Structure formats: C-alpha cells, structure tokens
Amino acid sequence: MSVSSWLQNPQRNALYNLAAVGAVLLGLLLILGARGHFVAVWAQLTDEDTDSLRRVLLILPGAMLAGTAALNLLLCKPLWQARRYALNLTLAGNLLATAYLIYLMIRGVPGHPIGVFLALEMSYVIFLAGIRAGLVWPADEEPTGANIK
C-alpha cells in the first residue's frame, strides 16, 4: 500500500469501536460502584452530627465514580465515530479517576473494593493511551517490504 493510496482511502481503526464498548461497560460498572458507595455512606451523610467537610469527603469517591461514568457514557457515541476529542476527553477523565483511586488505595480504606475499580480504570486508561499513541487495528494488510525482490 503506497502513501498516496493510504491518504485517499484511510483505514478505519476498529480500536475506537472497542473503546466505545469499553466506555459503556465501564460506565455501567462505575454507576453500580457509585450507587454502592452512596448506599454505604448514606447513614453518615444524613446524621446531623456530621460536619460539612466530612460530608464532602464522604461524597467525593461516589461523585468521582459517577462523574467518570457519566463522561464515559456521554462520549461513547463520539468514540464509536472515531472522534479524536472524545478519545482525549475520555482519557483525561479516566486518568483523573485512576489517580484518585490510587490515592485512596495508598491511603488505605479497609473493606472497600477500590482495587477492583482501580484495575478496571487502569486497564482502560492503558488501552486509551495505546490508541492515543497510534495503535491501529486491524493492522496494515500488506507488510512493508513485501514487494521487494
């Protein structure tokens, strides 16, 4: 495949489609995680003895999960359409959520499934970073140097 034929007929990167499906699945799992978090802390949130800073700190993990889920679900269609801005926004949002989950993991919150969500987030971030770096699938049909005699 020559450069001129590649420019006229660019190959579709199917990894964007996989990223869109992953965004939907991860978004749904993050919604379940946010719901579980809010159910777990609801009694402390409604307690009148809890000060406002403590309430914000209790809400933050669930809000981070819910916000990342919303971002993933909102950007799944542009990801399917291979929009570069959607890839960049999804990568940035999930990278922020990953950093926050790493912070929670280091801080140590016993009895919470932070590791599961961190593993899911990190896997998705690595996948998005690979697409951002230029990973393409399916690969070029014709290997370079195939016509050399």
pLDDT digits (tens, 9 = 90+) for 83-125: 999 999 999 999 999 999 999 899 987 878 889 999 999 999 9
State the pTM of this model: 0.81
Give CA–CA dist 73/85, Å, rounded. Answer: 15
- Measured between alpha carbons, how far is residue 132 from residues 41, 63, 84 in Å? 37, 27, 8
In this prediction, what percent of the chain has a pLDDT beyond 90? 62
Give CA–CA dist 48/25, Å, rounded. Answer: 37
In this prediction, what percent of the chain has a pLDDT beyond 70? 86
The tokens 């993050």 sit on which residue? 30
pLDDT beneath 50: ranges in the chain = 1-9
Give the model's pLDDT for residue 22. Answer: 97
